Homo-oligomer: A and B are copies of this chain.
Amino acid sequence: MKNHQITIIDIAHTLNLSKSTVSRALTGHPNVKVKTRERVLELAAELDYQRNQLAISLLTNRTQTIGIMVPEFLSSFFPKVIIGAQDVLAKAGYNVVICHSNESYETEIINTKLLLASRVDGILVSHTKETRNFEHFKTVDRKGIPVVFFNRIVDEMSVSKVAVDDYEGAYQAVEHLIKTGKRRIAHLSGPDSLQNSRSRLNGYRDALTNHQIPIDPALIISYDLTLDKANIYVNHLLNLPQPPDALFAINDPTAIEALKVIKSRGLRIPEDIAIVGFSDDPISALIEPGLTTVSQPVDEIGREAARLLLNQLAADDERPEPELVVLPTRLIIRGSTVTGENPTGFADQTSLPSF
């Protein structure tokens, strides 16, 4: 008696109807007498009846729920992606369950099983930096539940993916530094396990090579994206016998950490050392100097990933062809690489041409 939720049968009993009729009335089935439907709807509203989605999902084997798993939650990137995806999915009648793996491989596996147990209809994933074995995602795929990767994508799985043109973004960033006269350009790279980290490194390399600048391995540091380590590595770079005159960082938080270190050592930005980040975090336009960065269409990444997932769900045939979407990046030039006009990022910088 206590804590009993109103069911279709409760309504049926009080109205002297069968559960079938009540069900029909509530779902809008045509074969119900108008008067009956009214009585049912009225009582349902009065009792605050809420259909039990669990029972329906059990019956139909579809939960109308999508799981989104992200490795972290504190930078603005993933929340924005989630908002974009959620918007598209909600319009298609899907709910969203958000998991965060906290950059932990173990947690990622647990979350995957959880999503599987709660029978989500599909999963959007950006995997952790620790993930090198993708067996848990392959299991999901094998069960016929579509998986779409975004941002951090996986070469070895044949599923839909959304990425930005990391290579091109990095290439343009480094080329920009070269054109401002920099020659010893360091790269604070991400872990080798991340595909986008590798692509950005390749873009960095090729930009240098194509401009006849030798690659100095001492200037390339790959790290695990924890900011305290970034601090250490930046200091290390600055202490080199031949310190760099520019730094291309894997992402904006890293670049901002570098900027703090460099300022605290009394070096001038960009004269002594220029900095470029990646992602155009909102914070990057507010700090001083404004951070030059490679912006990516964050919201659109989420929307596109959701669309690809819906494509997989909508398809009638067994297993539709996976799609790969690569979105463009755009270099945003601010005071951390160029002096003069707009040294702070405070004024909005919508479309400065890369010179």
Contact = CB atoms under 8 A, between A and B. Distances in A.
A352 interface: no
A247 to B, nearest CB: 17
A346 B2 contact: no
Given A286-B256, A346-B260, A98 B95 contact: no
A139 interface: yes
Given A5-B143, A73-B79, A76-B74, A346 B58 contact: no
A288 interface: yes
B347 A117 contact: no
Given A3-B144, A144-B3, A54 B118 contact: yes
A53 B58 CA distance: 9
A50 B95 contact: no
A307 interface: no
Contacts of A63: 54
Interface string A296-333: 00000000000000000000001000000000000000
Given A3-B144, A55-B58, A288-B288, A50 B113 contact: yes
A87 to B, nearest CB: 9
A48 B143 contact: yes
A289 to B, nearest CB: 9
Contacts of A54: 54, 57-58, 63, 118-119
A51 interface: yes
A97 interface: yes
A interface SS class: mixed
A83 interface: yes
Contacts of A97: 95, 97-98
Nearest to A142: B48
A316 to B, nearest CB: 11
A86 interface: yes
Nearest to A116: B50
A98 to B, nearest CB: 4
Interface in A242-265: 256, 260, 263-264
A100 B50 CA distance: 21
A283 interface: yes
Interface string A1-45: 011010000000000000000000000000000000000000000
Contact of A283 (B73, B139, B260, B283): B283
Given A2-B144, A283-B286, A286-B286, 19 more contacts: A3-B61, A3-B143, A5-B61, A5-B119, A50-B113, A50-B117, A52-B119, A53-B118, A54-B54, A54-B58, A54-B118, A58-B58, A65-B118, A73-B79, A74-B80, A83-B100, A95-B97, A95-B118, A264-B346
